[in-house]
Every structure is written in C-alpha cells, then in structure tokens.
C-alpha cells in the first residue's frame, strides 16, 4: 500500500514539473502584449490623443504597424521618459523637410522617396518643407492611395489655380482611360480569352503612370501622356479585335445551338408521326 502512495507522489511531481512551465508559457502568450505608446497617448488631450484615433483607422494599423515602427522608442514601458530614451532610437515629430527621409527609409517607402528625388518638388521640400509626403497623404490617418487624394487645392498654394486645375484634370483623364482598359481586360478574363501579354503590358503602363505623381515634372507628365496614348491605342485595337472575335464566337454558338434544337424538334416530331402511323396501320390490320 505504501508503494502505491510513493508512485502517485512521484507521478504528481513529474507532472507538475512539466505542467507549470507550460501554463506560464501559454499565459504569457495569451495576455496580448500591451503597447504603452498607445495606452498612454489615448489618455492625453488634444493632438497627442488625436493621433491615436487617426492612426487606428489607417492602413498602417491594419497592417499592425504601431507607433514605434515610425517613431522608434520602446513601447514596452509605461513611462514617457523611458519610452523615448535615446538608446531606443526615438524620433519625435519629424521636421517638415525631414519627412521624405522619415517615410522613405529603407524597408518602408524607399521607392516613393527615390521617385520624389527625381522631380522638382524635392528641392522645394529641402528649402521650404513642402510639398512633402504628409501634405498629400496625411500623417496618421493614411489610407490606400488613389489619384483622388489630390485636388487642385493641393497644388494651388504654390501654383496658379488654372495651372493646378489643368494638371489635375489631365491626370484624372489619363486615369479614366486606364480604367476603361482594365474593365475590358476583366471582361476578357471572365470569358477566358487569352490576354496574358496585354495584361502584362497594361500593368507596366499602370505602374509607370503611378510614379508620375511623385515625380511631377512637366517633361515627365508630357512624356507619360504620350506613352499612355500610344499604349492605349495599341491595347484598344487588340481588345476590339479580341472582343469582336468573342462576339463572332457567341453568334456561331447561338446559331449552332438553334440548329441543334431544330434538329431535335424535327426528329421528335418525325418519330411521333411514325409511331402514330404505325399505330394506325396496326389498328387497320386488327379491325380487318
Ligand atoms: C506614459 C505616457 C507616454 C508614453 C508611454 C509615451 N508617450 Fe509619447 N508623449 C507623451 C506626452 C505627455 C507627450 C507630450 C505631449 C505634448 O508635448 O503636448 C508625448 C509626445 C510624443 C510625441 C511628440 C514629440 C514631439 O517631438 O513633439 C511623439 C511622436 C510621441 N510622444 C510618440 C510616442 C511613442 C512612439 C511612444 C512609445 C514608444 C510614446 N510616445 C510613449 C506621453 C507618453
Ligand atoms: C506611418 C508612420 C507613423 C506612425 C505609425 C505613427 N506616426 Fe506619429 N507622426 C508621424 C509623422 C510623419 C509625424 C509628423 C506629422 C507632421 O509634421 O504633420 C508624426 C507626428 C506625431 C506627433 C506630433 C503631432 C503634432 O502635430 O504635434 C505625435 C504626438 C505622434 N506622431 C504620436 C504618434 C503615436 C502615439 C502613434 C501611435 C498611435 C504614432 N504617432 C504613429 C508618423 C507616424
Ligand atoms: C503631390 C502629392 C504627393 C506627394 C508629395 C507624395 N505622394 Fe505618395 N502618392 C500620391 C498619390 C496621388 C498616390 C496614388 C497614386 C496612384 O493612384 O497610384 C500616391 C501613392 C503612394 C504610395 C502607394 C504606391 C503604391 O504602389 O501603391 C505610397 C507608398 C506613397 N505614395 C508614399 C509616399 C511617400 C513616402 C512620399 C514622400 C517621400 C509621398 N508618397 C509623397 C501623392 C503624393
Ligand atoms: C509647397 C509648394 C508646392 C506645392 C503644394 C506643389 N508644388 Fe509643384 N512645384 C513647386 C516648386 C517650387 C516647383 C519647381 C519650380 C517650378 O518649376 O516652378 C514645382 C514644380 C512643379 C512642376 C514642374 C513644372 C515644370 O515646368 O517642369 C509640376 C508639373 C508641378 N510642380 C505639379 C504640381 C502638382 C500637380 C501639385 C499638386 C498635387 C503641386 N505641384 C504642388 C512647388 C509646389
């Protein structure tokens, strides 16, 4: 009897040595780590609180990119001074002229920065701090961008209203053309028509067009406009001929179906007639 107690005792000890670290581990995992940048800032007033509310709806929040990804600092301590220790590479509010480098650091938006550097606006940013990334995209409430984030108002603080309007309109009109092509390509995909080459050419065109907004020189706009026109003409022609052949196939399909249905109906009627005739002959024969 005594032996049984000893075995149970040893068994319990062994079980506990495995179980306790396991419980500690899972509890550590399930209690989601607090981010004290957010915890503290949400309790502040004015702008330092507003940034959290804006950030919460942003594309960065949706991708779990929290405050310290951009600002550095240590999000694990509940103390403003310790959180912003020099050692943790904290960057406070960047100066306007530093914003392109702040957003365009490697691993983030280096491509957009390289594009901005190619155009005349980068010089203006270095001199007067504008037009920088935040002027067009916002700072904490950043969303997936389309051309519609810029209007003539974005430009007319520096350029004349007419010039701004003309620039924005010409960009929007190029964008419309591109959208039309996309619709046609979608239609072809739905109909399983081979369109790989065209899709590739279309994607190249689109990405070329999309970098325009960061470069913005007159030459670049004119060149892109020409390129888009040429490409659109080519793609449009290809599309029209492919769509025409889809329509031709549709017509052939309808005619063939109609013909097949006609044959089936004729055949059924024919069979019915024959059976009726045979029945009549049989009846005549029996009544004789
Ligand atoms: C315990 C509270 C607390 C914590 C934790 C905290 N902050 Fe702050 N933060 C503040 C206060 C208070 C201010 C100053 C507000 C003011 O000056 O109006 C501030 C200011 C800032 C500023 C503006 C600085 C400037 O140069 O204008 C930034 C950016 C910032 N915090 C980011 C962070 C980040 C990133 C973290 C986490 C790594 C963090 N904060 C953690 C309380 C906190
Ligand atoms: C995508 C990068 C990014 C993220 C993420 C981000 N910030 Fe910022 N933050 C910026 C930029 C850029 C500025 C400068 C904006 C300007 O000058 O208009 C800034 C400015 C600030 C300021 C100063 C605001 C002012 O005008 O006085 C505070 C405070 C701040 N951020 C706190 C935070 C906190 C807290 C979080 C997390 C909830 C956060 N930021 C997340 C990029 C970011
Ligand atoms: C003159 C206004 C303007 C400025 C300045 C600007 N952007 Fe943009 N950005 C736009 C617009 C408009 C779009 C959307 C274009 C489109 O539909 O492709 C965009 C698109 C983007 C995209 C998305 C690109 C993609 O591939 O989806 C990123 C990232 C971006 N910008 C980052 C930046 C950064 C970083 C800076 C500063 C270095 C910056 N932008 C400066 C207007 C601007
Ligand atoms: C903060 C001031 C500022 C804002 C805002 C601004 N620009 Fe500019 N832009 C400049 C400066 C400075 C130059 C270079 C000097 C010049 O060529 O006039 C320039 C040059 C240009 C050029 C080249 C002109 C040429 O002849 O090559 C284009 C195109 C342009 N901007 C378009 C825009 C558009 C579109 C917007 C709005 C989305 C805009 N800019 C917003 C300051 C600004």
> What is residue 125's predicted lDDT score, i.e. its pLDDT?
97
Verify whether ligand 2 is closer than 6 Å to residue 62 (CB atom): no
Q: Whose CA is nearest to atom 39 of ligand 1?
A: 37
| Residue ranges, the chain, pLDDT below 70 | 1-2, 7-32
Q: Whose CA is nearest to atom 42 of ligand 1?
A: 80
> What is residue 10's predicted lDDT score, i.e. its pLDDT?
63
Ligand 4 centroid to residue 123 C-alpha, Å: 10
> What is residue 16's predicted lDDT score, i.e. its pLDDT?
53
* DSSP per-residue string spanning 160-196: -HHHHHHHHHHHHHHHHHHHHHHHHHHHHHHTT---H
Residue 91, sorted as left (phi over 0), alpha (psi -120 to 50) or beta, turns out to be beta
> What is residue 91's predicted lDDT score, i.e. its pLDDT?
94
> What is residue 32's predicted lDDT score, i.e. its pLDDT?
57
Residue 107, sorted as left (phi over 0), alpha (psi -120 to 50) or beta, turns out to be left
Candidates 78, 80, 93, 98: which one to mutate for ligand 1, based on the most atoms within 8 Å of Cβ?
Answer: 80
Candidates 151, 216, 222, 224: which one to mutate for ligand 4, based on the most atoms within 8 Å of Cβ?
Answer: 216
Q: Whose CA is nearest to atom 27 of ligand 2?
A: 47
Ligand 2 centroid to residue 76 C-alpha, Å: 18
Residue 78 CA, chain-centre distance (Å), reads 35
């Amino acid at each position: 009897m005594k032996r049984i107690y000893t075995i149970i005792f040893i068994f319990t000890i062994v079980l506990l040595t495995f179980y306790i670290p396991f419980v500690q581990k899972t509890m550590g995992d399930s209690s989601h780590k607090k981010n004290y940048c957010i915890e503290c800032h949400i309790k502040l007033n004015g702008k330092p609180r507003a940034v959290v509310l804006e950030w919460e709806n942003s594309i960065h929040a949706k991708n779990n990119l929290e405050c310290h990804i951009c600002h550095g600092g240590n999000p694990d301590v509940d103390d403003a001074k310790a959180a912003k220790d020099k050692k943790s590479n904290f960057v406070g509010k960047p100066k306007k002229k530093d914003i392109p480098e702040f957003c365009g650091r490697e691993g983030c938006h280096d491509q957009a920065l390289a594009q901005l550097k190619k155009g005349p606006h980068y010089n203006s940013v270095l001199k007067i701090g504008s037009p920088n990334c935040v002027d067009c995209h916002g700072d904490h409430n950043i969303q997936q961008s389309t051309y519609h984030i810029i209007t003539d108002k974005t430009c007319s603080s520096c350029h004349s209203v007419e010039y701004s309007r003309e620039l924005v309109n010409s960009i929007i009109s190029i964008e419309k053309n591109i959208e039309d092509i996309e619709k046609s390509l979608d239609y072809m995909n739905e109909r399983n028509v081979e369109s790989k080459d065209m899709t590739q050419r279309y994607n190249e065109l689109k990405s070329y067009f999309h970098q325009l907004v960061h470069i913005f020189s007159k030459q670049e706009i004119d060149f892109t406009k020409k390129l888009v026109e040429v490409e659109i003409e080519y793609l449009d022609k290809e599309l029209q001929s492919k769509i025409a052949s889809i329509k031709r196939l549709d017509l052939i399909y309808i005619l063939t179906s109609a013909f097949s249905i006609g044959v089936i109906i004729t055949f059924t009627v024919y069979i019915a007639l024959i059976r009726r005739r045979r029945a009549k002959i049989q009846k005549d024969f029996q009544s004789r």
